[in-house]
Amino acid sequence: MNEGKIMNNYIDKSSFLRGILVIVTKDGKISDEERNFVMKIGKELGFEKTFCHSAINEILDNQFVEMTPPEFSDKNIAEKFIYKGVELAYADSHFHPKEIDYLKETALKNGFTEDWFIEIISSHIEKRK
């Protein structure tokens, strides 16, 4: 993932990170694998390490975070988000239904079909076997 070059839009970068943070809240806990994943994404997007660390530590209790699925200015960015989101959702070796619902809503909101999304999930599971 090379969002630094692809994502010049600060709003898209912020939406990407916010969406990733929302995914980790869906099962009500943040595993070490999820924490490491978010830190890696934050770094790739160009966010400061301390900012990302604070965001992760505060996300479960932050009632002011917009929890709606992100809409991106470019379909390529949305696709990268879905792929990374699926990878994150499976970081603890299982999908939580709320994580999948959020990712599906994001896919639909950004112009992808439900069939496309199901194929992404299926493909990810096959790779992990």
Task: Give residue-wise pLDDT tens across range 67-94.
Answer: 999 999 999 999 999 999 999 998 877 8
Which three-class secondary structure state does DSSP give residue 65? coil
Of the chain, the percentage scoring pLDDT greater than 70 comes to 93
For residue 76, give its domain range: 3-128
Task: Give residue-wise pLDDT tens across range 103-127.
Answer: 999 999 999 999 999 999 999 988 8
Q: In the chain, how many domains are there?
A: 1
* Assessment of whether the complete model's pTM goes beyond 0.95: no
Task: Give residue-wise pLDDT tens across range 10-41.
Answer: 999 999 999 999 999 998 889 899 999 999 99
The residue type of 93 is S
